[in-house]
């Protein structure tokens, strides 16, 4: 269905994320992957969806030569805890601290998607609230050692071991927490 709708477009996914790439395959979208390096910096006064909207747009900026048929999709996810953005941890110490901070609390996972062509751009976002149980230091160390969560916002993947044992409630889209609000992407693409 979506494949038919998009048959006149060249879909470009600008994401290294294996989860996002798999979501596109599962949606039955023909796409290619193109990556351009961007320094993911934003102004400190930005809050919540403002951050992810800004970063999704920033990731689209290096693609300056889109053709009439190109449709570029970029995305960004953060974990939002107590008015602070948690991105990807740079090392074991950061990963441990992020998971320690999330332990026993509720947080939001915010993802924005930029859909850009030569003549238009649309940015959509989604927010899911996730509740974590109290984690022991041993559980956190085990997860970091065995799952290397350094490519994940907030230092965790809900689809991995820590999601099985720590997440006791979510309000909103599971797929958003896994990296892409697939339902919102589908709706936006069907509206083209």
CA torsion angle 149 125 3 10 (round to 10): -80
What is the rounded radius of gyration, in angstroms, for the C-alpha atoms of the chain?
17
Which of 16, 15, 75, 83 lies closest to 46, judged by CA? 83
Reduced to 3 states, what is the DSSP secondary structure of residue 179?
Answer: coil
Q: What CA–CA distances, in Å, run from 96 to 41, 61, 81, 137, 182?
A: 23, 33, 15, 8, 29
Contact (Cβ atoms closer than 8 angstroms) between residue 100 and residue 136: no
Rounded to whole angstroms, how far apart are CA atoms 106 and 102? 7
How far is residue 180's CA from residue 158's CA, in Å, rounded to a whole number? 12
Show the tokens assigned to 78: 């953060």
Of the residues 28, 70, 76, 101, which is catalytic? 76
76 catalytically annotated: yes
Active site residue ranges: 76
């Amino acid at each position: 269905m979506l494949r038919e709708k998009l048959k006149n477009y060249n879909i470009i996914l600008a994401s290294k994320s294996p989860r996002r790439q798999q979501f596109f395959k599962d949606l039955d979208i023909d796409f290619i992957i193109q990556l351009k390096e961007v320094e993911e910096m934003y102004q400190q006064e930005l809050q919540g969806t403002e951050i992810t909207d800004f970063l999704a747009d920033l990731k689209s900026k290096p693609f300056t030569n889109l053709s009439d048929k190109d449709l570029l999709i970029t995305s960004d996810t953060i974990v939002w805890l107590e008015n602070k953005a948690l991105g990807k941890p740079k090392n074991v110490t950061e990963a441990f601290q992020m998971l320690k901070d999330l332990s026993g609390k509720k947080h939001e996972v915010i993802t924005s998607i930029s859909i850009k062509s030569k003549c238009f751009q649309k940015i959509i976002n989604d927010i899911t609230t996730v509740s974590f149980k109290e984690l022991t230091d041993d559980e956190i160390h085990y997860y970091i050692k065995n799952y290397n969560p350094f490519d994940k916002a907030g230092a965790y993947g809900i689809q991995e071991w820590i999601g099985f044992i720590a997440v006791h409630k979510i309000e909103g889209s599971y797929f958003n927490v896994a990296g892409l609000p697939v339902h919102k992407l589908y709706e936006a693409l069907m509206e083209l």
